[in-house]
Chains A and B, each alone.
Chain A
Amino acid sequence: MFFKKQQSLAPDRIKKETTDDKELIPVSKDEFISIMKQRLQDGADFKTKELANGFTLVFLDTLTDKKMLNKDILARLGGISATPDEALKSITVSSTSKQKYIEDGVDAILKGAVLVHSAGYPVIISAVVATQENRSLTKPETESQVMGPQIAFNESLATNISLLRRFLTNANLCNESFTVGKQTNSAVALLYLKDIADEEMVDRMRERIQGIEIDSVMDSSNLSQLIEDNSMGIFPQMLLTERPDRACSWLLNGKLVVLVDGSVQVIGAPQSFMEFFESMEDQNVRWQIATFLRLLRMFSMVVSVFFTPIYVAALTFHYEIIPQTLLVPLGESRSRVPFPPIIEALLLETMIELLREAAARLPTKVGQTMGIVGGIVVGTAAVDAGFTSNILIIIINVSALSSFTSPNYMMGNVIRILRFPLIILAGFWGFYGLMFGFCFLLIHLIRQSSLGSPFLAPFYPPRFADWRDSIIRLPIGWTNYRPAQTRPLDRKKYRARKTKQ
């Protein structure tokens, strides 16, 4: 109900500025040039070229490919009569169109088109001869893995879509295009597989993208914050990837993929909490290993978030639970520390965060010294100086290490940050505080949704069949159903028996 009302609003909003207040192309050559010049703020790269037979070419020098301009346009337009139809016939560029309005002409010129004006006609021809200023395709950096395809998306939307189309040679792959950002006019594409992806989810995503009113979208990570269900929450609800194979596996599971021009990462939705602890490599190794790795990552997340708070709680309030053999070394090392455990832990955690942040900001060559600074100064000297206990150093190191195991950078950041409020809770109220924090987090997670579907999906609501490929991964023959979370139109991937031969 709520949903339909929104949908009817959406198309009006984009069609608002269409035909009414647009300016027609002037017939006169000089008037056309002066209007275009004025529209483009008399840019230094604004160039015009007047041909002897009455054509006038207008383009932005910086956006056009000189070779194509000479070969496919200039060379063809000589010696023919100066009418738009003749020009359209002669120009040997694949994407050409007729434009009636100045605004459309400006849009086209900003995308690298050459506008061909024929004196005496109120119609211009635009031919796209944009330069392809692209990085070549490289290996994935943030999601590198040993097995599987070694290719990552780059900044070009067209290249990214072509990569996806190459992985998924399927006519059902739908590609919808949007323009987001009042100032940047960034191209955004929504991809999904028809007959698998849920129509309602597609509608919802389309409506969210269209509903955005913002001046710029620089990256897909920006966009994902705008179209998420809960922008206030700490957990990301949509996942980014730079791997085309991962994006394809999402599409095949009935998820939607959103690409932003100029961004190397694509957005996938809906996602579940478990998806943040999965790596594409899990599909490429044998199931026993993949299961072990997934369980390890879950375990390390728990360790990373709760290990230090447990230390603080145990030392401040619950000395009863410490094993007796550990009491003496723990007590001796603590007896030299002048701070209560909460201050000690916060201090060391902050130091680790400082190191991490400093290492991330420094250039790679200088960054290597950070390890030495961290290892020697913070590690050894802090204990010698009686700043912290050496058991805490171990604990902090283990939890820092565990937070790196998360295959997803965004989730890794969340884990890093979550530790701090929990340490404070543990330092103030012991295990009661810790349990309060844990319950708060759990309730928060249960309340989250990703594109309207439950975020804690196979666990809550319980869908035991989907556990086969979430916290564990069973052999491929057993995981022949798409997850219920995406509500796919076609649940079955393949017949299980065929794969067991």
Chain B
Amino acid sequence: MSPKINKLFLVLLVVLLSGCADSRTLERMGLITTRGYDLTEDKQILVTMVLLQIDPEAKEQTIALSATADTSKGARSKADLKSPKKLQSGQLRVALFSEEVVRAGLINLTDTLSRDPAISDLIYLGVVEGSVHELLTQKTEGISDTSQFIYKELEQNIKGEKIPSSTMQEVMHDFYAPGVDPVMPTLKGGNGEITITGMALIKEDKMVGKINTQEAFYLKLINDRFEAGSIELSIDKSEFDIPDSEETPEKLTVVIDTITSYGDIDLINKNNLQFELKVKLKTRLLEINQAYDLKSPAKLEKLETKLCEKITSDLEALIEKARQTGADPFGFGEIYRKSVRGSNLTSAKWHKMYPESKVNVKVDLEILRTGVVE
């Protein structure tokens, strides 16, 4: 045989002997879109999997399978016994954990999710108040596909800058990075609704506290740059010369829309662990609930000052609350590690230092436009 034929023969041999790759044809796969983890009484994990139902004749768009096992993968192979299609996690969008699970520590579960190459790093993680299994299996009128509903709800609010983003990539990063703790949104079902109630504060991998959505907004204000979020603020109206009457509300409430925001943390004293948090906000006033003369610059300035004070005190309260729980979602530890040379900060070390830290909050708020108000 000539060398050319030899080469061809070799290629043919490689092709024929290797055979086809292991195929995963779409319609034969059970595509898991949401996974939920609960803790059973005997400390096992109850895994609920919502599958996308690919059958034009089926009434329901999804099927929920659940299985109890010691590990997440074990539960999947148990659930395989209940499914006509091979269960696959490649289309996973949301992983939900019950509060119980997160309070016990969730790193083993998220770790197996992040190891699986088929699972995207951009899936959303969430904490459910109550039972995840109930939430995912509940039949609600008007919600045809609970898992999609939750996914869209989380996505919409994260993109709309209502709550901080909590993709698996971010949670895992915050977990492994010393000096910052992850946060995850909390969800609550019932009354035909699924509501985002706030954020879970997590220390190491255990949930230690909760903040509400207003505080979640402030958390985002510190950590990220804003472009679209808006917030409602209520301030005491006694200092404004607004005529008091029975009909008008007791508090002056304004809705401001952030045009840009900028948060900056500096370590100003490394021995006393004193940080300075500067927040700059450029906003637009969207709505005000009482008659207030916005045309007068002096009055507008007064409003600005009052709003500043309000935000400052809110931020201080949030930081204090987080410090009480021991979780540091703001990343003060990272600033410390960055600013102090050779600090060799570890997560454990920082969690010991964190309760002693002090934060000075400085807010600079500017109302650029009020034109939207009548």
**Are B27 and A335 closer than 8 Å at their CB atoms?**
yes
Which one of A21-29, A52-60, A282-290, A319-327 is at the interface? A319-327
**Are A319 and B20 closer than 8 Å at their CB atoms?**
no
Contacts A320-B90, A324-B33 given; indicate if A330 touches B26 (C-beta within 8 A): yes
8 Å CB interface, B10-44 against A: 20-21, 23-27, 29, 31, 33
How many whole Å from A395's CB to the nearest CB in chain B? 14
How many whole Å from A223's CB to the nearest CB in chain B? 27
**Are A324 and B55 closer than 8 Å at their CB atoms?**
no
Is A1 on the interface with B (CB-CB < 8 A)?
A: no
Specify the chain B residue showing the minimal Cβ separation from A427: B20
8 Å CB interface, A298-341 against B: 314-320, 322, 324, 327-328, 330-332, 334-335, 340-341
Is B243 on the interface with A (CB-CB < 8 A)?
A: no
| Max chain A C-beta neighbours (<10 A), residue from B27, B29, B120, B148 | B27
CA of A334 to CA of B52, assembled, Å: 14
**Are B55 and A319 closer than 8 Å at their CB atoms?**
no
8 Å CB interface, B288-338 against A: none
**Are A319 and B23 closer than 8 Å at their CB atoms?**
no
- Per-residue 0/1 for B78-98: is the Cβ within 8 Å of any A Cβ (1 yes, 0 no)? 000000000010110100000
**Are A327 and B52 closer than 8 Å at their CB atoms?**
yes
Contact of B91 among A316, A324, A341, A432 (CB under 8 A): A324
**Are B93 and A320 closer than 8 Å at their CB atoms?**
no
CA of A233 to CA of B25, assembled, Å: 34
Is A428 on the interface with B (CB-CB < 8 A)?
A: yes
Contact of A334 among B26, B33, B88 (CB under 8 A): B26
Which B residues are in CB contact (< 8 Å) with A330? 26
CA of A433 to CA of B88, assembled, Å: 22
Which A residues are in CB contact (< 8 Å) with B20? 427-429
**Are B29 and A319 closer than 8 Å at their CB atoms?**
yes
- Per-residue 0/1 for A371-410: is the Cβ within 8 Å of any B Cβ (1 yes, 0 no)? 0000000000000000000000000000000000000000
How many whole Å from A169's CB to the nearest CB in chain B? 51
**Are A316 and B24 closer than 8 Å at their CB atoms?**
yes
Is B106 on the interface with A (CB-CB < 8 A)?
A: no
Which A residues are in CB contact (< 8 Å) with B3? none
Which A residues are in CB contact (< 8 Å) with B91? 319-320, 322, 324, 327
**Are B52 and A328 closer than 8 Å at their CB atoms?**
yes
Is B56 on the interface with A (CB-CB < 8 A)?
A: yes
Contacts A319-B90, A320-B91, A429-B20 given; indicate if A335 touches B25 (C-beta within 8 A): no
18 contacts between A and B (CB under 8 A): A316-B24, A316-B26, A318-B90, A319-B31, A320-B90, A324-B91, A324-B148, A327-B54, A328-B52, A328-B54, A330-B26, A331-B52, A334-B26, A334-B54, A340-B23, A340-B25, A427-B20, A429-B20
* Residues of B near any A CB (own CB < 8 A): 20-21, 23-27, 29, 31, 33, 52, 54-56, 61, 88, 90-91, 93, 118, 120, 148
Given contacts A320-B118, A332-B56, A335-B54, 11 further A-B pairs with CB under 8 A are A314-B26, A317-B24, A319-B88, A319-B91, A320-B90, A324-B52, A331-B26, A331-B54, A335-B55, A430-B21, A433-B21
**3 interchain residue pairs of minimum CB distance:** A331-B54, A320-B90, A334-B27
